[in-house]
């Protein structure tokens, strides 16, 4: 278990004492060599664990590692998913398994930015169900390039996590000319999108009334997020 996964599950209260000692063993195997980790890893040999003792040594390890332990599972979840996305880009994740587990994460953590993965599932589902397949949010996606597109989305997720973006991202419209952010909901894509005239430029962008020059881009769309990242604007700066 990676440290990001460990901290996420710890914040959710889903770890057993044995998970702590296993984590410490992983630290040693990764080259971290300090007495607290050695002691915690050594407890893995005990038949029964004292959780107070385990927690105390975990706190000492965390201090050694400079881990900022906060009670908010969302922060750990974001770091956990960011780590998975980095592993996807490095070719270390089974992409079909990852896609199959996405809906589980959505149920667990309703974190706005994670919606970009849920939107991928929506588009894959649309492709598989309709006679005339087309994407809603994922321009460039086909059933033939699922893995390639998943990697592109993973790269985008990591970049978004490192960029300055509004809290309710991607449920926002952003003007790439002036940085104006409109938090009007962007969940307006109609259910009967197939063959609907509602999908397209009107759902993806609209004129910016603030600067009068640019377009407000709906950040639910993959290509709009690419444009947002390429432009490197500071959203909400006006």
**Between 20 and 215, whose beta carbon lies closer to Zn ion?**
215
Q: State the minimum distance, in angstroms, from the CB of residue 214 to Zn ion.
A: 4
**Between 40 and 216, whose beta carbon lies closer to Zn ion?**
216
**Between 91 and 212, whose beta carbon lies closer to Zn ion?**
212
**Between 190 and 209, whose beta carbon lies closer to Zn ion?**
209
Torsion of CA 217, 126, 78, 23, to 10 degrees: -160
Q: State the minimum distance, in angstroms, from the CB of residue 220 to Zn ion.
A: 19
Whether residue 159 has a cis bond before it, omega within 30° of 0: no
Closest CA to 169 of 209, 203, 217: 217
215: phi then psi, degrees, rounded to nearest 5 = -115, 140
Q: State the minimum distance, in angstroms, from the CB of residue 130 to Zn ion.
A: 35
First to last CA, the chain: 43
The Cα 191–Cα 124 span in angstroms is 15
**Between 130 and 234, whose beta carbon lies closer to Zn ion?**
234
Query: Given the rule CB under 5 A, which residues bind Zn ion?
Result: 175, 177-178, 180, 208, 210-211, 214
Q: State the minimum distance, in angstroms, from the CB of residue 67 to Zn ion.
A: 41
Q: State the minimum distance, in angstroms, from the CB of residue 216 to Zn ion.
A: 7
Q: Quick count: other Cβ atoms within 10 Å of Cβ 23?
A: 24
């Amino acid at each position: 278990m990676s440290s990001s996964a460990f901290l996420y599950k710890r914040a959710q209260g889903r770890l057993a004492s044995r998970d702590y000692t296993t984590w410490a063993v992983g630290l040693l195997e990764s080259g971290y060599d300090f007495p607290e980790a050695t002691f915690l890893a050594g407890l893995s040999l005990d038949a029964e664990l004292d959780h107070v003792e385990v927690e105390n040594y975990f706190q000492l390890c965390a201090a050694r590692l400079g881990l900022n332990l906060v009670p908010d599972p969302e922060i750990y979840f974001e770091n956990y998913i960011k780590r998975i996305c980095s592993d996807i880009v490095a070719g270390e994740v089974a992409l079909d398994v990852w896609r199959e587990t996405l809906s589980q994460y959505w149920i667990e953590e309703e974190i706005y930015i994670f919606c970009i993965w849920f939107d991928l599932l929506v588009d894959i589902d649309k492709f598989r169900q309709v006679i005339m397949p087309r994407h809603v949010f994922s321009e460039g996606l086909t059933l033939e390039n699922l893995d390639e597109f998943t990697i592109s989305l993973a790269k985008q997720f990591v970049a978004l996590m490192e960029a300055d973006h509004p809290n309710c991202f991607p449920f926002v419209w952003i003007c790439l000319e002036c940085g104006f952010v409109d938090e009007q909901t962007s969940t307006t894509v109609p259910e009967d999108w197939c063959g609907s005239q509602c999908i397209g430029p009107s759902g993806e962008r609209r004129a910016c009334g603030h600067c009068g020059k640019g377009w407000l881009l709906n950040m639910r769309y993959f290509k709009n997020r690419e444009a947002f990242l390429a432009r490197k604007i500071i959203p909400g700066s006006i």
